[in-house]
Amino acid sequence: MLLHIIARGKIGRSPEAELVDRYTKRLTMPHKITEMPDRGGKLPPAGPGTVTVMLDEKGKQLGSMDFARRIEGWRDAGSRECRFLIGAADGFDDADRANADLLIAFGAMTWPHMMARAMLAEQLWRACSILANHPYHREG
Ligand SMILES: C[S@@+](CC[C@H](N)C(=O)[O-])C[C@H]1O[C@@H](n2cnc3c(N)ncnc32)[C@H](O)[C@@H]1O
């Protein structure tokens, strides 16, 4: 299953880009990042069975094990792509939210979208390591 980060904004050369690179390099599942403009533009077409996860402050706060198990469940159910949408300064509206299969929040606070991208990359690596029984994640 392709892990597809679809993020608004250009990360360029920045500390956040280094973090995204550091964690995505370690992913053991196929992955790619598509950058969208801050506003407008069309989402890449979604094939059948694509799962859409939206990063949004109003979303559900999942633990890392739960996040990993959801990815495992979608993968094992035969989904070809799991896409993760990250907004820009304006975030998402309710119509966007209604099109997502799951909304997840990294806490109730608002993070800059480039930091959200780096945090997602880390959580995806953590999820891959959990699913591979790699010792990176320690459950407290
Ligand atoms: C600066 S925030 C947008 C804030 C905007 N005012 C809103 O109400 O959604 C940019 C993007 O970063 C991501 N983001 C920021 N904080 C987040 C959080 N706590 N959990 C999940 N994603 C977050 C979301 O994708 C959001 O659309």
**Contact status, residue 5 vs residue 86, Cβ threshold 8 Å:** yes
Consecutive 10-residue averages of pLDDT for the chain (140 residues): 98 97 97 97 94 97 97 97 97 95 97 98 97 86
pLDDT of 117: 98
**Residue 107 in contact with ligand 1 by CB distance below 6 A:** yes
Query: What's the CATH number where 68 sits?
Result: 3.40.1280.10
Ligand 1 geometric centre to CA of 19 (Å): 18
Per the domain annotation, does 25 fall within a domain?
yes
Binding residues for S-adenosyl-L-methionine: 55, 87, 106-111
Q: Flag whether 33 is in a domain.
A: yes
94 lines ligand 1 (CB under 6 A): no
pLDDT of the residue at 55: 98
Cα-to-centroid distance, 133 and ligand 1 (Å): 31
- Cβ of 105 below 6 Å from ligand 1: yes
The residue range of the domain holding 118 is 2-40+48-131
The reported pLDDT for the residue numbered 136 is 87
DSSP classification of residue 2: E
Indicate the number of domains in the chain.
Answer: 1
- Rounded Cα distance between 128 and 16, Å, is 20
Binding-site residue positions:
55, 87, 106-111
Q: Residue 135's pLDDT is what?
A: 83
pLDDT (0 to 100) of residue 134: 87
Task: List, in order, residues 6 or more apart from 53 with CB less than 8 Å away.
Answer: 82, 83, 84, 85, 100, 101, 102, 103, 104
